[in-house]
Structure 1
Amino acid sequence: MLAVDYVNPMIGTIGHLLTSTSPTVSLPHGMMKLAPITTPGIADKYLADRIFGFPAGCCSIMPARNAGLPDPSAHSSLYDHDLEHAAPYAYQVLLEDEEILAEMTVSYQSAIYRFRYPVGPEAALVVGFPAGSRLTLLTEHAAVIAGTVAGVPHFTHLAFSQPVELDRMWESERQSGCVLRAAPAGGLLEVRAGISYIGEEQAARNLARELDGRTFEETKQAAREVWQQALGRIEASGGSEEQKTIFYTSLYRSLLNMSSITEDGRYYSAYDGCIHESEGRDFYVADNIWDTYRCLHPLQLLLDPERKQDMIQSYVRMYEQCGWLPQFPFAQGDLPVMTGNHTAALIYDVYNKGYRNFDAAKAFEAMKVNATEVTMLPWVHGPLTELDRAYQEQGFYPALRPGETEWVQEVHGFERRQSVAVTLEHAYDDWCVAQLALALGHADDYEAFMRRSRNYRNLYNETTGFMSPKSADGEWVEPFDPKYGGGLGGRDYFSECNAWIYSFHVQHDIEGLIELMGGAEQFEERLDALFAEQYDGSKYRFLGQFPDATGLIGQYCQGNEPAFHIPYLYNYTASPWKAQRRVREIMKLWYQATPTGICGDEDNGAMSAWYVFGAMGLYPICPGKASYEIGSPLFEKTEIAVSGGGIFTIRAEGVSDRNKYVQAAEVDGKPLTEPRISHEAIAAGSTLTLRMGDRPNKAWGTALPYAGRAENS
């Protein structure tokens, strides 16, 4: 079976506590993304009882048996998952109320919808669009919709296979729209849509360029082939059918992140409100950098470094257009959410792995602006506040004491200061800035940012053994509970997790953290305790305060990204076998081929990318270091097509559910005694051989327990 045929987009469509995924139809990094519009207010897509339409750029379309609908805005249909089929490249469902079969398939900036009505004299199409939009019927076979979404112009060109005429316009509280009458031949009406951010004519050109001369089936087959080519860059052999389904579905999810919005060599940028020439390089948007820097971007880099460099140049362009590096760059502009300056990690990771086809000098300038001129406050974009100045002077972000009233007006009320998370995450980012400064010859900047990279030490409380909040006077905040301290989501001090997780959030200087915690033996004991520590009461009390901390094993939470690297920290102790054990346990417990099969918020593919790496037996514990930790692969052989035509191969001899422990390892026949492999070896197309057994070889991987020491730390 081909890789594309393993993908099940319904995995994760029921959230464990918060959001769910959608069965997205798109091409890898495509601009057009489709999924059925389901019952408002039902967050779990799989559990939604009705379909209200299908997106087509700035509008939605929904078939109806006739035009005489009492309330077009509420028109919907019951549907049954047993009468539905979802794939990355196509979607099909029976709209049961009126027995209409709906199908859709996709290209990069266009889509085809096919509706099969019961044979009759009349059929209708309900078109919805944002209030204030303009609908123009160009001919009886074409229409254009122009509107604005979140301040950004959107255009959709619709082409109909049969003549249509306007029945009436309608408005609701949520949107406006129209009802079109049609007389589909043999009950079949096909609608083609092209989308654009540039203009009406460009939307028509995008549609013509991609779909003229193509039938629905030809478009569907072409999209399937594109997905097979993308997913086939990793070929997994062995393992169970379920493991392959989870693996390739996870890979599909990880390739949706960041979409090219380049249209015939031009793109509209919401960062300055202008149309730009692309100059031969696509412009990418739609990234959750707080989540995706950890392992999704490193995964995409392995598979397509040329595209990844274009993505970084897109970030550079955003900086040139708006004056800072966005945190969550979307087509509608930046959403300044979450914590950190993690674009710095993305940029330096790519640079340090040897890929330089972007303006590194301008990228460094942008990284430095974010680090020194933009507030660190979560969910806020603006100039430095008194809290930022306190950080610069004292080396930590000050926290409020319990009951103390917030006086800094820039603090986002619900999100709070997140003072410990801000300090720790920026310390890592500053390390990334320092390393690029060194590479580019900026000695003074290197020294300054290296000092800041050690700020994590200022919040380690030796008495308690936890990263803990300090008030502006430099005193520890008391009382402080490392498990429950910080209010909802821990946001007074942390970002969605507690001190048990954030005490390990020092990716760039693991050895320094080990030293703080008393040495490798004590560090290992702390890791063991993390996976065993319970809730001091009911589990529902804990999850009520930390709804993002799902996928629990003790206090470890696979359902939130700050925990992702923690199992691999065992590779820096005398027991790398514990990393192998834990990673296998996490994959088995918290990833399944079911609607509940993703244990936390997917966040644009971040949760899925972790599984892809885990199943291959690798993990980039610190983006910015050109190496990957070795875990425990699921497959007998994994082949990755790397840049330049080479193949990196992972052979796991004797691997099985029981045989999860590495007994010995080789790279191209040479013994590997440390539990990590260099990016250079992977990019060169080498072969990593792991000999697996059912009991740990407690001597393997311990020869160089501090290998991978943070560069220039």
Structure 2
Amino acid sequence: MNHSLAELVRPHIGGVGHLLTSTSPVSSLPHGMMKLAPITTPGMPDRYLADHIYGFPVGHGWLMPACAAEAGQAAELRSLYDHELETARPHRYEALLEDEGIAVQLAVTAQAAIYRFVYPPGSSRVLSLGAPDGIAAEAAATEEAAVGGKLGGAPLFAALRFSERPLSVEPWSGAGKRGLLLRFGPAADGVLEVRVGLSQIDAEQARRNREREVAALTLEQAAAAAEAAWNDALGRISVRGGTAAQQSAYYTALYRSLLNMSDVTEEGRYYSGCDDAVHELPDDAFYIRDQMWDAYRCHHPLQLLLDPQRKEAMIRSYLRMYQQCGWLPQFPYPQGDLPIMTGNHAAAMIWDAYAKGLRGFDAELAYEAMRKNAMEVTMLPWVHGPLTELDRVYLEQGFFPALRPGEAETVPEVDGFERRQAVAVTLEHAYDDWCVAQMAQALGKEEDYRHFLERGQNYRHLYRPDIGFMAPRAADGSWIEPFDPKFGGGLGGRDYFSECNAWIYSFHVQHDIEGLIGLMGGPEAFEQRLDQLFQEPYDGAKYRFLGLFPDSTGLIGQYCQGNEPAFHIPYLYNYTRSPWKTQRRLRQIMDLWYHDHPLGLCGDEDNGALSSWYAFSAIGLYPICPGKPFYEIGSPLFEEIDIALPGGGTFRIAARGASARRKYIQSAMLNGEPLHVPRIAHDALAAGGELVLEMGERPNRAWGLGAPPS
């Protein structure tokens, strides 16, 4: 490799949110535990717009350098900084704290980091070590310091070692914070370095992690090693062609896709928040930090494609957490499984891996966990617990019941803000139940297979042919009236949907697209409905629509690229007589909503989900239904794409003549044979070979009309 892919990454992409959250310029190893970004102006959600830095993380605490500071000022230390004097990359970070001219550099390893603070020569060197109240910050007149404790239920310990002893250590407190002010004498070169180890186990393990990973390294060596790790990870997909901005946006998307899940194994041990215990694990790795509602669609399939062995370790981690907490988690974080969103989507991740040939996990245990979540754990959004009376309606009647407008909630387990999300719960669990059915069949459990396969058809119970939308029903089976497919459901549609409306969720049947097409009146009517989705107006001011659906950013008509339930929809044209419309819409979406600047992401990044969609779509592939082992073909941005395969082979995609104008597939060849369908099997890709696409300015309306998979 004659250039560094890591240097193409721009972590500030997405640093200004279109409506909700923004990204952080994180420095980390791929799947690393240590993740660092500057702490910027509190209350400023658009991090790129914040013009002050308040510190740099050390576990639950932070460091902030100054030339002159008193204890009474320590809680509010900050400095102006300028993005033109800043360098943010996956493997290193540099900034100038302008108020006092202090340069900051950092580099990371898996569980440690090196900070370098360069003060003006001859000036006093002060370092504030701070933490929230309740987190211990300890130091003495030695080279060692520590920050540690539980915050929000998550234990985290940092062990610090300074490049020299402080002359004095002075405690400070205020504004809900406390810490220590460390004073060092002037130095000719102004340099003060801090090596930090991180642990979820205890302070001693943090010290061991520091000594093992950075005690013998310079900052430059640590940065070079991290850069090499990123170049290896990013280099698993090599692209040529496109613009420099597209390449930068692409490798930034791939970087964000590879930040999590995080390996938190520490010298053969790990802490699990599922049972608040430390476990021995000498011959494996334990992964956390996942958001399954966001990730199952394309984030996990992307990681499976690039690193199947790591994906197996992630699944084994899920199964360990199942044994520890009694259910299959959906949002595993350091403090345990968080009750966020809806669905049994870990079942989708597991079945997708099994369907694509992965066997490095206990399939029987996995099925036990998938089945238990489907049979014994409540489907209520944002809730952990056993079945409720609402779940029993689903089990008995095949749909999750909704309330009528204005009807008071009578089920105490329902979250007051997140509501029932009844249509979304039904549709998402129907897909998950289909995944459980496929796993049951693969393991020879025929009775379970038939049971869950029938449940996979539950989406049919919510289709209203008179209006052509998925719609809510009451517990007695009657349709909810009145019902507005565009605005119904309150804030975020939460009475009936998850952050979207019926225009989006009516297409949420990835596992039975042919069945959905039949419900909607056949291929021609289905195509017309897709066309209308991308042209349907807001019915009033745009701010009114976004005020009700703030997650629905990246709008094209009612289509919202900024939220995950829409991700697969542009690829549905591949199931009509017009696959060229998939190609057209994908290029429109990528051209509009993915760029190499701070406004370059149109919605919440959601732990890599939004970027994973682009990482797939920009190379012309997409897993429309995790659990069905094939990829839809779209419209590659790049002329040549090489996917490095685990066994050492390569799969090449050659999009001949691809450009902004030449976005339509004229013909396709797979390993020298004509390809007449707009999809490719996972096995064909994993075996290595070449897909050649001839691209043109006008659509070939006859290409891609082969029969869809069963």
Question: Which range, TM-score by smaller chain?
Answer: over 0.9
Q: Work out whether residues 71 and 172 of structure 2, in 8 Å CA contact, stay in contact via their aligned partners in 1.
A: no
Tell me the amino acid that sits aligned with residue 78 of structure 1: L
**Partner Cα distance (1:196, 1:661) in 2:** 51
State how far apart, in whole Å, the 2-side matches of 1:174 and 1:684 are.
57
Amino acid at match of 1:298: P
* 1:82 positional shift: 1.0
User: What's the counterpart of residue 552 of structure 1?
Assistant: 555
In the alignment, the residues of structure 2 paired with residue 106 and residue 369 of structure 1 have an alpha-carbon distance, to the nearest angstrom, of 40
Deviates more, 1:570-579 or 1:174-183: 174-183
Q: What is the letter of the counterpart of residue 95 of structure 1?
A: L
1:355 to 355, 358, 362: 358
Alignment match, 2:589 = 586
Does residue 85 of the first structure (1) align with residue 90 of the second (2)? no
Segment drifting more, 352-361 vs 184-193: 184-193
C-alpha distance in 1, partners of 2:64/2:373?
Answer: 44
Residues of 2 paired with 1:569 and 1:546: CA distance? 23
Mapping for residues 82-481 of structure 1, pairs under 5 Å: 82-120=84-122, 122-137=124-139, 140-183=142-185, 185=187, 186-481=189-484
Counterpart for residue 538 of structure 1: 541
Question: Residue type of the partner of 1:91?
Answer: Y
| Aligned equivalent of 1:57 | 59
Instruction: Please list the CA deviations of residues 332-386 of structure 1 after superposition, one character each: whole Å capped at 9, or x if unmatched.
Output: 1111110111001100000100011011111111111111111101000011111
TM-score w.r.t. length of structure 1: 0.98
Distance in 2 (CA, whole Å) between partners of 1:469 and 1:253 is: 36
Provide the C-alpha distance between the structure 1 equivalents of 2:158 and 2:659, rounded to a whole number of angstroms: 51
Match of 2:665 among 662, 666, 669: 662
SS in 1 for 2:238: strand
For residue 3 of structure 1, what is the aligned residue in structure 2? 5
Does the aligned pair in 1 maintain the 2:64–2:127 contact within 8 Å?
yes
**One-letter amino acid matched to 1:68:** E
CA distance in 2, matches of 1:464, 1:48: 47
- Cα drift, residue 165 of structure 1: 4.5
Distance 2:402 2:185 in 1: 66
Alignment correspondent of 1:12: 14
Which residue type is aligned with residue 383 of structure 2?
V
Amino acid at match of 1:59: G
Indicate the SS of the match to 1:297.
Answer: helix
Between 309-318 and 323-332, report the one with greater CA deviation. Answer: 323-332
**How many Å separate the matches in 2 of 1:437 and 1:173?**
56
**2:505 equivalent in structure 1:** 502
Name the CA distance, whole Å, in 1 between partners of 2:331 and 2:569.
24
Please give the TM-score of this superposition, normalised by the length of structure 2.
Answer: 0.98
Structure 2: how far apart are the matches of 1:298 and 1:54?
33
State the secondary structure of the residue aligned to 1:701.
coil
Deviations 1:427-483 (A, max 9, x none): 000000000011011111111111110000000000000000001110110010000
TM superposition shift of 1:588: 0.2
Where structure 1 has 5 or more consecutive residues not aligned to the other structure, the ranges are none
Report the residue type matching 1:216 in the other structure: L
Query: What does residue 22 of structure 1 align with?
Result: 24
Secondary structure of the 1:512 match is: helix
8 Å Cα contact 1:396-1:423 kept in structure 2: yes
Taking the aligned partners of 1:108 and 1:167, their CA distance within structure 2 comes to 30
Counterpart of 2:612 (choices 606, 609, 612) is: 609
The 8 Å contact of residues 67 and 167 in structure 1, kept in 2 or not, is answered as no
Match of 1:45 in 2: 47
Deviation at 1:121, TM superposition (A): 5.1
Deviation at 1:145, TM superposition (A): 2.3
Q: Which residue of 2 aligns with 1:708?
A: 709
Q: 3-state DSSP class of the match of 2:161?
A: strand
Tell me if the contact between 1:11 and 1:598 (Cα under 8 Å) persists in the aligned partners: yes
CA contact (8 A) 1:130 1:147 kept: no
- 2:642 maps to 1:618: no
| 2:631 maps to 1:631 | no
CA contact (8 A) 1:67 1:180 kept: no
Q: Per-residue displacement from partner, 1:295-343 (whole Å, max 9, x unpaired)? A: 0111111110000000000000000011001111001111111011100
Q: Secondary structure at the match of 1:364?
A: helix
Aligned partner of 2:232: which letter?
A: Q
Q: Tell me, yes or no, if the aligned pair for 2:58 and 2:147 is still in contact at 8 Å.
A: no
* Distance in 2, Cα, partners of 1:702 & 1:154: 55
What SS does the aligned partner of 1:71 have? helix
Name the amino acid aligned to 1:447. Answer: R
CA distance in 2, matches of 1:329, 1:138: 36
Matching residue within 37, 40, 48 for 1:35: 37
Q: State the distance in 1 between where 2:123 and 2:614 align.
A: 51
Matching residue's letter, 2:66: A
The amino acid of 2:208's aligned partner reads R
Residue correspondences, number: 707
d(CA) in 1 for partners of 2:173, 2:330:
35
Paired amino acid for 2:571: Y
> Is 1:484 aligned to residue 487 of structure 2?
yes
Instruction: Tell me the CA shift for residue 167 of structure 1.
Output: 3.0
CA–CA separation in structure 2 for the residues paired with 1:174 and 1:396: 47
1:97 Cα deviation from its structure 2 partner: 1.0
Give 3-state SS (helix, strand or coil) of 2:618's partner. Answer: helix
- Counterpart Cα distance in 2 of 1:54 and 1:105: 12
Corresponding residue SS for 1:176:
strand
Counterpart of 1:677 in structure 2 is 680
| Match among 47, 70, 73 for residue 71 of structure 1 | 73
Question: Which SS does the other structure have where 2:565 is aligned?
Answer: helix
Alpha-carbon distance between aligned partners in 2 of 1:123 and 1:593, rounded to the nearest angstrom: 37
Letter in 2 for 1:35: A
Q: Please, which moves more after superposition, 332-341 or 123-132?
A: 123-132
Secondary structure of the structure 2 residue equivalent to 1:527: helix
- Residues 455 and 345 (structure 1 numbering): CA distance in 2 closer, same or farther, change over 3 Å? same
- Percentage of identical aligned residues: 62
Distance between the aligned counterparts of 1:457 and 1:294, measured in 2? 21
SS of residue in 1 equivalent to 2:607: coil
**2 CA distance for matches of 1:337 and 1:241?**
38
Q: How far apart, in 1, do the equivalents of 2:692 and 2:325 lie? A: 48
Distance in 2 (CA, whole Å) between partners of 1:438 and 1:147 is: 46
Compute the displacement of 1:139 (Å): 5.8
Give the Cα–Cα distance (whole angstroms) in 1 for the partners of residues 4 and 585 of structure 2: 30
CA-CA distance at 1:173 after TM superposition: 3.8
Aligned-pair CA distance for 1:36:
0.5
Give the Cα–Cα distance (whole angstroms) in 2 for the partners of residues 583 and 373 of structure 1.
40
1-side partners of 2:661 and 2:123: how far apart? 63
Asked if 2 retains the 8 angstrom alpha-carbon contact of 1:66 and 1:181, the reply is no
One-letter code aligned to 1:495: S
Return the alpha-carbon distance in structure 1 between the equivalents of residues 375 and 297 of structure 2. Answer: 23
* One-letter amino acid of the counterpart of residue 678, structure 2: P
Residue 689 in 1 paired to residue 682 in 2?
no
Q: Distance in 2 between matches of 1:442 and 1:377?
A: 27
**3-state SS, counterpart of residue 226 of structure 2:** helix
Q: Which amino acid aligns with 2:639?
A: E
Whole-angstrom distance in 1 between the partners of 2:580 and 2:436:
33
| Alignment counterpart, residue 600 of structure 2, candidates 597, 600, 606 | 597
- For residues 396 and 305 of structure 2, the distance between their equivalents in structure 1, rounded to whole angstroms, comes to 39
Q: Deviations over 1:114-158 (max 9, x none)?
A: 001112352111111232233333661111223112223321110
3-state DSSP of counterpart to 1:363? helix
**Cα deviations by residue, 1:53-80 (Å, 9 ceiling, x for unpaired):** 0011122111011342532111111111
